[in-house]
Structure 1
C-alpha cells in the first residue's frame, strides 16, 4: 500500500520482523490519523480539565493538553504525568523523574527537582515535598503566585494523616519523632523512639496515632496532648511477628499478632508435596506445588494468631479469647468485633468461601449471636459514616445492623454487584431496583423513588466518596449519577436537595464513564465526559452552569470512518429468551458483492453497539472488528447465555438463531464463507459450536476450556482453588456436579466430539495461562490430530490468558487474519497453513 503524497504517514510494521512460519504476511497499513480523546482529570473548581489526544497505533504522536473550560484555551502538557491543578491556574506534575510546575497563564515551566516524597494538599493549596537536599518544603499557591512558606533541613521522611493537615517526621541521623501542624505550621517534639519511625495508623478523629516498634510493642501517641503510652503485648516464650493494629471510633485500639514457632525443616518437603483429601487450605497452594526456585521448600514458620484490645480511657489491655480457628474483624464500632472461622464453611463451591460472622461484645467477652453468613463480607459490607450502622447483602435483601439498638432493618436486594451508598449524614441509603434509583431512610425505614422510569435500568453514582468501608455521597453537594437504560440508551442526572435534574437526555450514544470520577468538580457543578457511537468518534462534553456544551470536537478525519454501517437485530431462541446481535459492515460495502463474515462470541455483547473502535493490530486476543471490516469482512457479534441444557448447547442455539436471522436480513453475507472466533469462554463456545455445526467454514478458538470434565477437576493456580466451582457455577453454569449429571458434562464438552469436526480450526493459547490451563488447548489439538482433522495450534511461550507483549500480539493478529483469508477468501498462498493442515505431507 502506498504512502499518500500530502504527507500522511502509514505505519509499516516492519520493525517487528516476525517470521510467520515460512511465510511472512504483508504488513497492514494503519492510517496514523486514528485517535481518540481521553479525559485525565479536572480541577477542583471545574475550570480546567486535562485531556489526551491518544494515537493508539503510534504513541509518539499522542499529546496532552490543559484546557480551560470557559475560554477553551488549550495548553500543551505532553510528557507531564500525575498532574494536579491548583486554584490559581498552575499545574503540577511529573516530567520523567522530575516534578515540574507549569504556570498556565504565562506557560512558564520550572523544575522542582527529583523529589523523594511529595503530596498535594487541596484544602491548603500547598505542595509538600522532600527535595534532593533532604529539605522538607511547603510551597503554597496564592493569588500572587507560588512561594515557599516553610523549609526544614535534614528531613529523612514524613508521614501524613488522611485529612492531610498533620505531618510526622524524623530528621537525618536522629530518632526523635516530630509533629507539624500544617494549619499553624507549629512544630512539636513528640518523643525519642530510639529507632527509625515505621509509619503510623491514624485514629478516626486523627488526634491519636499508633506505631509498631522494633521490639513489637506499640507506642500510642496523643497528638493533641503531646503525650504517649507504650503498649506491651502479653509476654510470650516464642517470637512475635506480623503485628497489626486498627482503631475503633472511640480511640480504643485493636491489635492482632502472630506468635511464631520455628519448625525444623521437614526432609520430605525436599521431594514431596502432600495434598490431603480433607484440606481446606488449598488456596495456599502455588504454581509448581509451592516449590521455591531451588525446588526445595524453605523452613516453614508456623504459629498462632492472637488478639488484644487496648481501652484508651481505662488504659487497660484486654486479651481476647483465642483458638486456632477463631479470627477477629474490627469494623471500628466501639465495644464490638466480628469473630469468624475463615475455613469453617469452605467447600470450594464459590469463588470466595462462605464465612459465618458472629457478633462479639468486648466488655462481656461473649458472642451475642450471628450477624451474617456471607461470601467476601469484608469487601461487601458498608459502614455508615457515623459508625452506627453496617450494611451488608443477605440473600435477597440488604440488611442494616444498628449497633446502638441491636436491631436490624432491611430492604430488597436486586443487584449484588451494585452496592448501596450512604449519605454523609448517615440518614439515607441510595440503591436501585433495576428500574429506579431509590432512597431508604434509616430513621423512618421508608423508601422513596428518586427517578420515575420504566423498564430495566442500571444506575451508577459517579461522585461517591470512599473512606475504607464507608462509601457515601456528600449531602451538601449534588449527587451525579449515570443511567444505563434498555437498548443501550444512556443518560446523566443530578440529585440535590430533593430536586432531580436531567443533565443529558436519553441517548443511544455511549457516555464514557471510564474516566468519569476524574471528571467531576468538587462542588458537583461541573461534569466532563466523552460521548461516542460506532460511527462517531469521542467528543468531549461538559455540563457547567446548568447547560451542556461540546468542549472538544472529535479529531479523527471523517473519511476514516464515514463509511461505517451497522445493523442491530433482536431475536429469540427456542426458549423465548430475548437476544441481540450487532452486524458491522465491511468498508466500501457494495450490495451487489458477496462478503465473508466472521462471528465473534463471548456471552452477551450488545453493549458494544455504541463503541467507536479504532483499527489496531496490537490486541490482547488477536481480534479487532474494525481491522476485519477494513479487510473486507462482515463482523457479527451475537449474544449468548447459558440455558438449562448447558453452556455449549445454549451457545450453539443462540449463535445458530443469530446467523439464521442476520443472513436472512442481509443477502450480501456469503453463507458459504462464515468464520467463528472466540477467546476464553468464547473460545470454549467456539470449539463446541464447531463440533456440532456445519454452518462455519472455519474457526479460531483461543485460550478456552475444551473438556469440561478434566477442566472441572483441575486446580486453578490463578484463583487458588479447584475449578469445579466455575463449571458448576459462574460461566459454564452446569449447575450439577459431574457425579450428579455426567451426561450434561459430556454433551457440553467439545473434545468428546473431536471425531465429528468438519471445520478447520486454529487453536491458540499462552503457556503461562493459569486461568484456563494451556493443556486444555493441547488436549483438543491431540484429539483433532487423532482423527486427522484440519487443525493448527499456536502455543505462545511467554504469554498468559491474554497477551501483553507487542511481538506476540502482532503475530497472533496476523495469523488470525491469515487463517480467515485462507478459508474465507481463498487466499491459499499462506504456506504455514497449507503445510500445517496437509496430512499427506509430513
Structure 2
C-alpha cells in the first residue's frame, strides 16, 4: 500500500474515534471546579503545604506553601517529598532533583540528584548521599545553612526509626560503620564479610540485630561497640525467612522457617479440601501477607521460635508445635502463645483467637489472657512496658506484669483503642458518650468531656509505634468528636482544661486533613471545612482563635443554586430514618422533574459533603452531575431489619419516597429511578422485583442470589461467604439451613419474574469481592422472563472502577439509561438494540 494512503487511513481512523468521543461526551464540566487539600504543617506551625486540586483535570493541580501568620502563599507546584525546617526552608524534590527553598526570600538552591535523603527534625539536619557518593549532613541554623559533615565513598545508609543513629558501609568494604547523629562520632563496628542487609532496632536504638547470609544473627551493641554472633539450632533441612524483634530489655525474639525438601507428588496436579480444613484462606493463592511466619506449612516448611537472653548470652528454644505460634509484645520474659486456627469456623470475618501468657524463664504457660478477634488492632503496650491493655469480653482489661495482676476497665468501645500517657500512669479511653482518663495508681476514672448521647472520639495527635500508642503530656490532646445526627466538633485537653476549638456543627470537618495539620506543640491546627453549599475552606486555630486561612476559590455561580431538603421519618418498626433530597439546577417549582434515588445503608452524613461534578466515578454515580442534568437526587437511609436486608430496604425506600414526594410536589412520581452499588446494588435489585414505583433501575456489582452467595468462596477474603450473609451488611443472623425461607424471601433473583422496571446491570470481571457471576445469574433470570435488561461486563475492572476509560463509559451509560426512561430521550441506539426482544 502507498505510504501516503496508509497514513491518510490512520488519520481518518483516529479522527473518527475523536469525533465519536466528542459526540458521546455531551456533558460539559466547568474547568473552574477545585478544592483544597491540606498536606503538611511545619512543626513550628508557621507554614502549611496545600494542594489546589482539579478533579476533572489533574494537569491543572497546583501546590502552595502558605504562611499561617500573614496568609501569603507561594506556588511550589512540582515539589514533592518535602519537609519544613524550623528556619523557614522547604526541602523537597522536583522530579529527580532535590531543592532547598528559602520561604522568606523565595530563593531556591539545587542540591543535585541525590541517591538517598532524610530530614532529621530533632537536629535540623538534612542527611543525604550526593552525586559524588558522599554522605552529607547539612545543618539548618538561624544564621546560616552549612554542611557540617562529609564522608566519602558511601553507597547507601540505614537510619534508625527515631533518626538518631546511622549505619553504613563504604564502597569496596564490608566493614559496618556507625554514626551517632547527635555527637557526629563515627565508629567502625565490625567486618561483616558481606553486604549489610539491614537492621532491626531495639526500643532505645542502642542495639541492633542483622541477619547474615548463612542465617546467623549478629547482635551489635552500638554504645559498647561490641557484638555477639547468634547461631540458630542445627537443623537437617534448610533454614530461611529469619525474622527478629526486640523486647524492651534488648533480649531478642527470633522466628525462622525450616523448609521441607521432600516434595509431595500429588501437589503437582491436585489440591485437597478436607471437611475439617481450617486453612481455606491459603487454598487459592499460596502464601498471603504474614503467612510465612504463621502458616509455613503452605510454604513447604515449619516455623520455629527461639529467644536470645542478652545478659546471660543464652539461647532459649521454645516448645514447638505445628499449630502453636508465639507473639512478642515487647515485655521482658513474656510472650503470648496461641493457635491461629483453633476457633476458626468461618462464621465470622475475623476469627476469634485464644491468647495465653507464656513466661520464658520458666518455660510454661500461665493461663489464658483473653479470647478475641483483631487482637493486634487493640493491644497497646505501656511506654514503660509494665502493662498491656486489650479487649476482654465486654470490657477493656490491663495486665500488670510486675504484679501479675488484672485490672478491669468497665467499658469497651470497639471503635477506639485506649491510649497511654507517656509516663504510663493513665489510660485514655471512651465509653461511647465521653472521653475518660483512668488512673492506674488510684483506680479512679475522671471524665474529660461532659457530652450527652452517642459520641465517638478520635485522638488525632497520639504518638508512638503500632503496638505502643500514647499521649505526649507536654502538649494538648487534640481530638475529634462525632456526635449524633451527623454533627462533629474539635476539642483539646491540656492541663485539666477542656477547650472547644470548633463547636458542634453540621459542617464536615476533615479528620484526614487535621491529622496532617497539627503542629508539634498542639497550639496550631489546620483543617478543611465544608458543607453542601460551602466549598472546602481551610481553617486555622492559633493563639486560641479560629480563622480562615484560605477561602474557597470556586466561583459562587457554580454552586449558589444548590438546595437540599432533609427529612426524618419512621419505618413500620418505628426506626428513625433520614433522607436527603438534592434539587436540580435552575429549579422551577412550577415544573415537574424526574428523580434518581441512590441507596447504600445510612446516607445522612452526605448532607454536609460539598460534591464537585465529576464524570470519573468509581461506580458511575455523581449526584451533582445528575442535579446539573435536571434530576432530583434522593438518598434515604436503609438498614437490615429482622425480616431481612431486602425487605427492610424495600420498606425504608418506599417510606422515604412516600414522605419526600408528599413534601415536594415538583417530583414527577411517574419518572423515578433507583440506583445502587455493591450492597446498594443488592438492595436495588431486590426492590425492583418487589415494587412498581420505579421507571428505571441500575444495579452495580450486587449480590443477587443469597443462597448461592452464602455458599460461595470469597476470593478476596479467601474464606466462604457464610459470615457476610449471616452478619456483615446483610445480617441474616441465621444459617441458611436454620431459616431457608428468610434467604429466599430476601434474594432478588427469586423475584426476577415480577420485574416491571427496565434494569441496567453492571460489574467488573475481576471482581473478587462480590463475584461477577452473581450479576450474570441475575441477567440470565431476567432474560428468561424477557424483561428489559442490559448487563455490562467490564473485562479489566474489579468491584469498583479505577480506570478513567471505564469510569467515563459507565457514567455515560448511567446517564443514557436514566435519560432514556425518565426523560424520554430514546435516541440511545445501544439501549434500543439491547432491550427489544423482537429484534436482534
TM-score by length of 1: 0.95
Counterpart pick for 1:824 among 819, 822, 839 = 822
1: CA distance, partners of 2:726 / 2:14: 46
Mark the CA change 1:237 to 1:489 in structure 2 (over 3 Å): closer, same or farther. same
Paired residue for 1:174?
Answer: 173
Q: How far apart are 1:670 and its partner, in Å?
A: 0.6
2:232 equivalent to 1:209: no
Distance 1:360 1:20 in 2: 71
Q: Could you say if the C-alpha distance between residues 300 and 638 of structure 1 is closer, same or farther in structure 2, counting changes exceeding 3 Å?
A: closer
Report the more deviating stretch, 625-634 or 420-429.
420-429
**Helix, strand or coil at the partner of 1:60:** helix
Deviations 1:281-327 (A, max 9, x none): 1111236999xxxxxxxx98522211111111111111111111111
Q: CA deviation at 1:29?
A: 0.3
Alignment of 1:458-497 (within 5 A): 458-497=456-495
RMSD of the alignment, in Å? 1.9
Aligned partner (choices 520, 523, 536) of residue 522 of structure 1: 520
- TM-fit CA distance, 1:434: 2.0
Q: Are residues 1:715 and 2:710 paired?
A: no
Q: Does the residue aligned with 2:741 lie in a helix, a strand or coil?
A: helix
Q: Distance in 2 between matches of 1:175 and 1:61?
A: 49
The match for 2:269 is 271
Q: Name the SS for the 2:652 alignment partner.
A: helix
Q: Taking structure 1 as reference, are residues 462 and 300 closer, same or farther at Cα in structure 2, changes over 3 Å only?
A: closer
Measured in 1, the distance between the counterparts of 2:207 and 2:250 equals: 7
Partner in structure 2 of residue 199 of structure 1: 198
Matched, 1:222 2:221: yes
Q: In 1, Cα distance between the equivalents of 2:160 and 2:46? A: 28
Distance 1:812 1:287 in 2: 31
TM-superposition CA deviations, 1:184-241 (whole Å, max 9, x none): 1111000000011111111111111111111111101111111100011111111111
For 2:293, the equivalent position in structure 1 comes to: none
In 2, Cα distance between equivalents of 1:416 and 1:393: 8
The 3-state SS of whatever aligns with 2:831 is: helix
- CA shift for structure 1 position 172: 0.9
Do the aligned residues in 2 keep the contact of 1:252 with 1:311 (CA within 8 Å)? yes
CA distance in 2, matches of 1:542, 1:362: 51
Q: Within the alignment, does 1:621 sit opposite 2:619 as a pair? A: yes
CA displacement 1:54-80 (0-9 Å, x = unmatched): 111111221111001001121111011
CA change 1:437–1:809 in 2 (3 A) is same
Give the corresponding residue for 1:316: 314
Q: What is the deviation of 1:270?
A: 3.8
Q: List 4+ stretches of structure 1 deviating above 6 A.
A: 14-23
1:296 maps to none
| Rounded Cα–Cα distance in structure 1 between residues aligned with 2:652 and 2:18 | 38
Report the 3-state secondary structure (helix = DSSP H, G, I; strand = E; otherwise coil) of the residue aligned with 1:241. Answer: strand
- Assess if the C-alpha contact under 8 Å between 2:638 and 2:652 holds in 1: yes
The structural deviation recorded for 1:19 is 10
CA drift of 1:502 comes to 1.1
State the 1:414 CA deviation.
4.5
Give the distance between the partners of 1:314 and 1:544, measured in 2 at CA. 53
Q: State yes or no: 1:562 paired with 2:588.
A: no
What is the aligned partner in structure 1 of residue 688 from structure 2? 690
1:757 to 750, 755, 778: 755
Output one character per residue of 1:612-669: Cα deviation in whole Å (capped at 9) or x when no partner.
0000000100000000000000000111111111111111111111111111111111
709-718 or 423-432: bigger deviation: 423-432
SS of 1:521 mapped into structure 2: coil
Instruction: List per-residue Cα deviations over 1:713-760 (Å, max 9, x = no partner).
Output: 111111111111111111111011111111111011000111111110
Deviation, structure 1 residue 374: 1.2
Aligned with 1:31: secondary structure?
A: coil
User: Relative to 1, partners in 2 of residues 1:16 and 1:768: Cα closer, same or farther, differing over 3 Å?
Assistant: farther
CA contact (8 A) 1:40 1:515 kept: yes
Contact preservation (8 Å) 1:529, 1:542: yes
The 1:466–1:670 alpha-carbon spacing in structure 2 relative to 1, beyond 3 Å, is: farther
CA contact (8 A) 1:23 1:830 kept: no
Alignment match, 2:127? 128
How far residue 263 of structure 1 moved from its aligned partner, in angstroms, is 2.4
Q: Deviations over 1:678-728 (max 9, x none)?
A: 001100010001111111111100011100111111111111111111111
| Cα deviation 1:4-62 (Å, max 9, x = unaligned) | xxxxxxxxxx9998799999634210001111011010000000001111111111221
Distance 1:203 1:820, change over 3 A: same
Trace 1:325-336 onto structure 2 (pairs within 5 A): 325-336=323-334
| Matched ranges for 1:799-814 at <5 A | 799-814=797-812
Preserved CA contact (<8 Å) 1:429 1:442: yes
| 2:655 is equivalent to residue 657 of structure 1 | yes
Distance 1:281 1:754, change over 3 A: same
Distance in structure 1 (CA, Å) of the matches to 2:53 and 2:745? 47
Deviation at 1:468, TM superposition (A): 2.5
Note if 1:793 corresponds to 2:813: no
C-alpha change, 1:791 and 1:20, in structure 2 (3 Å) is: farther
Q: Does the 8 Å contact 1:423/1:472 carry over to 2?
A: yes
Check whether the contact 1:252–1:309 (CA below 8 A) recurs between aligned residues. Answer: yes
CA deviations 1:92-139 (Å, max 9, x no partner) are 112112222111122122222222211110011111111232211111
| Preserved CA contact (<8 Å) 2:174 2:194 | yes
Shift of 1:448: 1.4
CA contact (8 A) 1:393 1:413 kept: no
Deviation at residue 411 of structure 1 after TM alignment: 2.1
Within 2, Cα distance between the matches of 1:523 and 1:23? 54
Assess if the C-alpha contact under 8 Å between 1:65 and 1:78 holds in 2: yes
Mean CA deviation greater in 250-259 or 94-103: 94-103
Do the aligned residues in 1 keep the contact of 2:391 with 2:412 (CA within 8 Å)?
no
- Residue 142 of structure 1 is matched in structure 2 by 141
In the superposition, relative to structure 1, how do residues 288 and 783 fare at CA in structure 2: closer, same or farther (>3 Å)?
A: farther
| Cα distance in structure 2, aligned partners of 1:434 and 1:356 | 26
- 2:287–2:299: 8 Å Cα contact kept in structure 1? no
Q: Please name the residue that 1:5 is paired with.
A: none
Q: Is the 8 A contact 1:307 1:319 kept in 2?
A: yes
Distance, in Å, in 2 between the alignment partners of 1:249 and 1:553 is: 48
Q: Are the equivalent residues in 2 in contact too, given 1:244–1:255 (CA < 8 A)? A: yes
Q: Distance in 2 between matches of 1:204 and 1:287?
A: 35
1:73 matches 2:72: yes
Q: Note if contact 2:209-2:218 (Cα within 8 Å) is conserved in structure 1.
A: yes
Secondary structure of the corresponding residue to residue 515 of structure 1: helix
In 1, distance between residues paired with 2:228 and 2:15?
63
Superposition pairs of residues 219-258 of structure 1, within 5 angstroms: 219-258=218-257
Alignment partner of 1:623: what SS? Answer: coil
Q: How many pairs were matched up?
A: 820
User: Can you give the 5+ residue segments of structure 1 that lack an aligned partner in the other structure?
Assistant: 1-13, 291-298
What is the CA-CA distance between 1:472 and the residue it aligns to?
Answer: 1.2
In 2, distance between residues paired with 1:488 and 1:325? Answer: 46
Contact in 2 for aligned 1:480/1:492 (Cα 8 Å): yes
Q: Distance in 2 between matches of 1:45 and 1:790?
A: 63
Question: d(CA) in 2 for partners of 1:589 and 1:647?
Answer: 35
Counterpart CA distance in 2 for 1:398 and 1:162 is 30
The structure 2 residue matched to 1:417, chosen from 415, 418, 429, is 415
- Please show how residues 719-758 of structure 1 align to structure 2 within 5 Å: 719-758=717-756
CA distance in 2, matches of 1:728, 1:27: 44
Secondary structure of the residue aligned to 1:765 is strand
1:46 aligns with 2:45: yes
Match of 2:155 in 1: 156
Aligned equivalents of 2:310 and 2:268: distance in 1? 49
Q: 2:834: which partner in 1? A: 836
Deviation at 1:385, TM superposition (A): 1.3
Counting only pairs closer than 5 Å after superposition, residues 365-444 of structure 1 correspond to structure 2 as: 365-444=363-442
Q: The residue matched to 1:659 in structure 2 has which SS?
A: helix
Distance 2:690 2:510 in 1: 39
